[in-house]
Amino acid sequence: MKIVITGGAGFLGKRLAKALLARESLTGPDGVTKKIKELVLFDIAPGIDLEDDRLRYISGDISDSETVKKLIDENTASIFHLAAVVSAQAEEDFDLGFRINLNGTYHVLEAARALPHAPKLLFTSSIATYGGDLPDVVADETAQMPQTSYGTAKVMGELLVQDYSRKGYIDGRSLRLPTISVRTGLPNKAASTWASSMIREPLCGRDAICPVSETTPMACMSPTKIIGALIHAHDLPADAFGATRSLLLPGISITAGEMAAAVERHKGNRKIGKILWQPDPAIQKIVDGWPRATHSARAEYLGFEKDNNLDDMIHGFIEEDLEDQLTLY
């Protein structure tokens, strides 16, 4: 069984690859559990430091259709499409955002459509697809009204996955991800990057900048629960999704102030860095347009797990990722 992960050198891509290699098998398009014989990680970024005989890394541009056609060949059974330009960067550079986030998704879908079979395809969408006058808790029935180019491209991607599935070209499913916290790595141009950096950096003894107010809430989900959700969604039968192939994942609502307080609770004997409150109106505007909390009765019914609380999320980072994070500095 060959699996392709686009954005394979990114934070989620690498974690997903490790989880799949450890798991060793997935449910194929025919519903039969099969051994993973080849795992291809595709990204424009440099290669990764994972070593496994089943693993192959390919560098390339997702917006180049010919490259994507060669990547997704007749041996491909499943595709995890994670590649994307992050929110604030997509907002700053409209052309880049749509070239990667929309055109790249289209190229992946077209390559899948050209196969002699309908592969499974999992598309990572986002709660940035919501916006405007939102309820306190976004639920399954909440209408999508994105307020950013990033969110708009994600809505379009969901609709394409839905239609390609309707036509029988793919067996698709889209997950709307809450903000992932705590991510490893360095701060990036995502408008939500502060939701990890203001926890991650201080616990590593470094100062962090928070561009939003202390009362700003964010719907969050831990990396462990996200990876579990990706694999769980992949292995569910298509008819479990019902009329729509898109699914909202459950995120817990956490404010920036609560994150700062949690860092203090978990500092232990460490000399922690400072959190520098430096308001950025552009970032605040983007974040204010996103859901403050999410609840999905569908996700609960289908067996997707949610985080218990912020303390568990930080404890998970300390236990699983803090040592590796320190090596980056």
- Cα Rg of the chain (Å, integer): 19
* C-alpha to C-alpha distances, 249 to 1, 107, 198, 224, 286, nearest whole angstrom: 27, 26, 23, 13, 20
Q: How confident is the model at residue 189 (pLDDT cuts 50, 70, 90)?
A: confident
Superfamily covering domain 2-180+221-251: NAD(P)-binding Rossmann-like Domain (3.40.50.720)
Question: Per-residue pLDDT averaged across 280-302, rounded?
Answer: 93
CA distance 150 to 88: 8
State the average pLDDT for the chain.
94
Which residues, in sequence order, are CB contacts of 136 under 8 Å at separation 6+?
Answer: 292, 293
Q: What is the average pLDDT across 124-152?
A: 94
Helices 256-265 and 194-203, packing angle to 10 deg: 20
266: left (phi over 0), alpha (psi -120 to 50) or beta: alpha
Q: DSSP per residue over 104-165, as a string?
A: HHHHHHHHHHTSSS--EEEEEEEGGG--SS--SSB-TTPPP---SHHHHHHHHHHHHHHHHH
106 belongs to the catalytic site: no
DSSP string, 181-209: -S--S---S-TTTHHHHHHHHHHTT--EE
Give 51-85 pLDDT, tens digit per residue: 889 999 999 999 999 999 999 999 999 999 999 99
Catalytic residue from among 130, 150, 164, 169: 150
Length of the chain: 329
C-alpha distances out from residue 298 to 125, 236, 295, Å: 16, 13, 9
The one-letter amino acid code at 324 reads: D
**276 has a pLDDT exceeding 80:** yes
Q: What is the pLDDT of residue 95?
A: 97
Tokens of 67: 């490259």
Element (H, E) at 172: strand 171-177
- Pick 49 or 13 by higher pLDDT: 13
pLDDT value, residue 41: 97
β-pairing verdict for 33-35 and 252-255? unpaired
Spatial distance between the Cα atoms of 77 and 74, rounded to a whole number of angstroms = 8
What pLDDT does residue 191 have? 86
Domain residues of the chain, as ranges? Answer: 2-180+221-251, 194-216+253-292+308-327
Write the Ramachandran bin of 205: left for phi over 0, alpha for psi from -120 to 50, otherwise beta.
left
Predicted structure pTM score: 0.93
Amino acid (one-letter) located at 63: S
8 A C-beta contact, residue 250 and residue 295 = yes
Crossing angle of helices 149-166 and 104-113, in 10° steps, is 10
Q: Which residues pair with 177 in a beta bridge?
A: 126
Residue of 81, 25, 40 lying closest to 235 (CA atoms)? 25
SS3 293: coil
